[in-house]
Amino acid sequence: MTANEILDELKSYGNETTRRTWINHGAGESCFGVKIEHMKKIQKRIKVDHKLALELYDSGISDVMYFAGLIADDPKMTKKDLQRWVEKAKWGMVAQYTVPWVASGSPHGRELAMKWIDSKKELIALAGWATYSSMVSVKPDEELDLPEVKKLLERVEKTIHDAPNKVRYVMNGFVIAVGSYVKPLSDAASKVAKRIGVVSVDMPGDCKVPFAPDYIEKAKARGTLTKKRKMAKC
C-alpha cells in the first residue's frame, strides 16, 4: 500500500473525541484522532514496511507518526533517520515511545541515547532516557554496559528533581526499568528509588507518576527480574 492510502485509512478511523484527547496530551492540532487499537489493526496487516514508515513519519501528523514507529524496520534505521525522527517529535507519545522503541531496536540505540540525554531540548532528552530504558528492558544483562547504567542511576538521583517536567517522568521510568529488568543492579536501583522518593510531574488529566520503589518491589515479588521483554514496542 502507498503512504496516501494508509493516510486515508488512518483518517477514516479518526474521531473528534480521540482527537481532543490527543491534543490535550500535547499532540497539537495536526492529528486525526486515531485510537491505538485501530492502528494495531493496520499494523497487523502490514507488519513491517521500512520505506512506508519513513514516508508516514514525515507526514508530520502526530498519530500517523506514532503509527509509523509500529511498522518501522528498526535494524534498518540509520543514525541520520533516528536523529531526524527525534528532532521532528513534537508530541510526548512520539518522543517517549515511538522514537525510543525504534532507536532501541536499531544498532545505534546506546550511542544516540547517551547523546540525546544531554540535550537541552526537553523532548530530545526525554527520548534519550526512554531509549535507554527500552534497551535495558530487552537486552540481556551481559550485553549492557553495567557500569554506565549504574552511573546513569547516580545521575538520576542527583538531578531528577531539577530536571524539566517531562524528563523527570522518564528518568523515574529509567530507575523502574533498571530495577525491574537488570538483575545485577536491581537492588541499587531500588535504593536510588527510595532516596529519590515521590517525583512531582505536571501530568494531563488523571495521569499519575509511578512510585518507583513500589514498582520495583512488585517485579521482585513476581520473580520476573531475569525475564526481559520480547520487544520494546507494545
| Model-wide pTM > 0.85 | yes
**Structural domain range at position 140:** 107-229
Residue 77 within any structural domain of the chain: no
177 Cβ contact partners less than 8 Å away, ≥ 6 residues apart:
133, 134, 136, 137
d(CA 174, CA 156): 9
Q: Identify the band that residue 161 occupies on the pLDDT scale cut at 50, 70 and 90.
A: very high
pLDDT higher than 80, residue 16: yes
Minimum mean pLDDT range among 28-32, 93-97, 169-173, 207-211? 207-211
Residue 35 within any structural domain of the chain: no
Residue 191 within any structural domain of the chain: yes
Contact 169, 199 (CB under 8 A): yes
Residue 221 within any structural domain of the chain: yes
Q: Please state the domain count of the chain.
A: 1
Q: Identify the band that residue 193 occupies on the pLDDT scale cut at 50, 70 and 90.
A: very high
CB atoms within 10 A of CB 61: 22
Q: Identify the band that residue 182 occupies on the pLDDT scale cut at 50, 70 and 90.
A: very high
Residue 219 within any structural domain of the chain: yes
Average pLDDT on 119-135 reads 97
34-43 CB contacts, 8 Å cutoff, 24+ apart:
34/10, 34/63, 34/64, 34/67, 36/66, 38/10, 38/13, 39/10, 39/13, 39/63, 39/66, 39/67, 39/70, 40/70, 42/6, 42/9, 42/10, 42/67, 43/67, 43/70, 43/71
Contact 198, 214 (CB under 8 A): no
